[in-house]
């Protein structure tokens, strides 16, 4: 991400939108590839390698679609950010939101994959409380809200945080473009598999 100067009146530029899309794609594709590596050997053992490639292809194409949806949502959120921000600051802010969202999404999937559940005592307490959802939502919000608001607050108060996020995104863009090649390969594999 080069840092050209833009008019402060423009919400986005083509380069800014491309950078935002690649940052939407990065965490989703990274997590998908990690999960694919976990599942490919299992699928190959049960069926064959071509089926494992098919499973990986479906996963990559799904990650691409998911990236496009997250990109659309983040682009719309960008329209409610302050107009005085330049494109780079807006993209850095949205990148921060994407990374926070991705970390929480990965954490929730890890809880499921590692089969981490509430203890029997906690379940009994919630059942007797009469309002189990209030407690669950309250504890969840007490954990999630600081992990969102503290980084956002630091971002809004510190230009160094904005520069750090922008530089981090700049370093991850090449890797994100590489992931898009996996998406293209996945689409080709799915076309070949479904044309037979």
pLDDT by 10s per residue, the chain, length 196: 555 444 445 789 999 999 999 999 999 999 999 999 888 887 778 888 888 888 999 999 999 999 999 999 999 999 999 999 999 999 999 999 999 999 999 999 999 989 888 888 988 888 888 888 999 899 999 999 999 999 999 999 999 999 999 999 999 999 999 999 999 999 999 999 888 7
In a domain? residue 1? no
- Return the sign of the alpha-carbon dihedral for residues 129, 133, 136, 138: negative
- Return the sign of the alpha-carbon dihedral for residues 71, 74, 76, 78: negative
The total of structural domains in the chain comes to 1
In a domain? residue 3? no
Give the whole-angstrom CA distance, residue 42 versus residue 39.
5
In a domain? residue 159? yes
Q: What is the CB neighbour count within 10 angstroms for residue 185?
A: 15
Which tokens sit at 138?
């309250």
Full domain range(s) for residue 138: 14-195
Give the pTM: 0.85
Q: Which residues contact 39 (CB under 8 A, 6 or more apart)?
A: 52, 55
């Amino acid at each position: 991400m080069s840092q050209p100067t833009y008019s402060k009146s423009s919400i986005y530029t083509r380069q800014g939108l491309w950078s935002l899309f690649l940052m939407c794609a990065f965490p989703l594709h990274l997590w998908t590839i990690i999960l694919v590596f976990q599942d490919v050997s299992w699928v190959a053992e049960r069926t064959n390698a071509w089926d494992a490639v098919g499973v990986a292809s479906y996963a990559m194409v799904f990650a691409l679609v998911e990236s496009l949806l997250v990109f659309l949502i983040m682009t719309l959120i960008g329209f409610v950010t302050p107009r005085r921000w330049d494109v780079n600051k807006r993209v850095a802010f949205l990148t921060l939101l994407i990374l926070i969202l991705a970390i929480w999404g990965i954490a929730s999937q890890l809880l499921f994959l590692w089969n981490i559940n509430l203890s029997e005592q906690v379940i009994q307490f919630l059942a007797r409380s009469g309002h189990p959802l209030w407690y669950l939502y309250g504890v969840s919000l007490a954990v999630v809200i600081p992990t969102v608001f503290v980084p956002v607050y630091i971002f809004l108060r510190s230009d160094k945080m904005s520069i750090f996020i922008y530089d981090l995104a700049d370093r991850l863009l090449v890797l994100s473009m590489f992931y898009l090649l996996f998406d293209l390969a996945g689409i080709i594999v799915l076309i070949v598999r479904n044309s037979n």
